[in-house]
């Protein structure tokens, strides 16, 4: 769908929290059975519990043109300009929503604020899993990731950045190429501002969902445990690794991956924000020893 009229981008923690109460994004399912060995003084027995899978809004990922203007109002002060990261916007114009090919976007990844409210909502469907983030904690602020985010060092020489089609959001063959994931920084060539914002959000999500990346960030990677299978690295276009809920400039109650055919409203100030939902599986502990699990076909 073609992009539609521009809008100013701004959102508050209260609105973000309310948007997390989305059954479509939650996608709660019973996917299998877990087996536990429960031992007491009179003997041992095997207990079972349901293995469930659902998505959790781990983080709010903001992608914005003007340094210091994160559209998440309460968090905008975290990304104020520094002596190493001051300006932003398009390469050759001061108008953020103008169709200029060279774009630059800052990105912030901050723990989703819903916390206990979302947990209560998810528990309404049954046993609920825990996510990998702490509310309001910054996991990536591009103003502090200057070398990688503004200069593309060292990712501009990675094979993923040099080989066309290696890591793309969309594709040339399907006619919906939004941009390249690598190098995972703020610069890209895309005439559509919404699509540029989405690709930069995808880049930021790609970084924080992996350990050991050459960026200044905290990872949102949880360790597997008995009866707990956390989300893995985000992969573009693959909803089994994560999906996006648009928060601003339009507020959506559904989730999708990039690219998508839904409304693509241009933010007049070049600021966008999405909630990143990631899939987790877990089961309630019913004994001292985890024996394994069986998934339904």
Higher pLDDT among residues 4 and 269, named by residue: 269
CA distance to 6, 53, 104, 160, 192, per residue, from 100 (Å): 15, 42, 11, 25, 8
User: Residue 173: what pLDDT?
Assistant: 80
In angstroms, rounded to a whole number, what is the distance separating the alpha carbons of residues 62 and 204?
9
Which residues form the domain of 150?
4-295
Query: pTM of the entire structure?
Result: 0.92
The 3-state secondary structure of 153-202, one letter per residue: CCHHHCHHHHCCCCCEECCCCCCCCCEECCCCCCEEECCCHHHHHHHHHH
In angstroms, rounded to a whole number, what is the distance separating the alpha carbons of residues 230 and 144?
28
User: Residue 80: what pLDDT?
Assistant: 82
Q: Domain tally for the chain? A: 1
Question: What six digits make up the tokens of 14?
Answer: 């209260």
Ranges assigned E (strand) in the chain: 4-7, 29-40, 43-64, 102-104, 106-111, 138-141, 168-169, 179-180, 187-189, 228-229, 243-248, 265-267, 271-283, 289-295
pLDDT at 16 over 90: yes
Range with lowest mean pLDDT among 28-32, 243-247, 260-264: 260-264
pLDDT digits (tens, 9 = 90+) for 250-282: 999 999 999 998 889 999 999 999 999 999 999
């Amino acid at each position: 769908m073609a992009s539609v009229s521009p809008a100013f981008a701004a959102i508050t923690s209260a609105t973000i929290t309310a948007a997390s109460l989305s059954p479509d994004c939650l996608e709660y399912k019973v996917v299998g059975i877990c087996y536990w060995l429960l031992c007491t003084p009179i003997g041992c027995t095997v207990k079972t519990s349901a293995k469930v899978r659902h998505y959790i809004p781990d983080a709010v990922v903001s992608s914005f043109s003007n340094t210091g203007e994160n559209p998440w109002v309460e968090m905008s002060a975290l990304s104020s300009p520094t002596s190493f990261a001051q300006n932003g916007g398009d390469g050759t114009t001061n108008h953020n929503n103008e169709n200029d090919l060279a774009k630059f976007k800052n990105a912030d990844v901050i723990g989703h604020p819903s916390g206990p409210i979302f947990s209560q909502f998810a528990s309404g469907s049954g046993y609920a899993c825990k996510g990998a983030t702490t509310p309001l904690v910054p996991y990536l602020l591009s103003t502090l990731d200057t070398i990688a985010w503004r200069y593309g060092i060292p990712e501009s020489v990675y094979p993923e950045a040099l080989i066309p089609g290696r890591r793309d959001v969309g594709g040339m063959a399907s006619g919906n190429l939004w941009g390249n994931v690598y190098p995972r920084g703020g610069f890209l060539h895309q005439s559509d501002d919404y699509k540029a914002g989405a690709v930069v959000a995808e880049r930021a999500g790609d970084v924080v969902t992996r350990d050991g990346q050459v960026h200044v960030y905290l990872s949102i990677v949880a360790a597997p445990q008995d009866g707990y299978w956390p989300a893995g690295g985000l992969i573009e276009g693959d909803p089994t690794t994560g999906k996006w809920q648009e928060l601003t400039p339009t507020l959506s109650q559904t989730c999708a991956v990039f690219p998508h055919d839904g409304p693509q409203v241009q933010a007049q100030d070049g600021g966008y924000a999405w909630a990143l939902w990631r899939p987790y599986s877990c089961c309630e502990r019913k004994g001292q020893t985890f024996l394994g699990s069986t998934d339904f076909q």
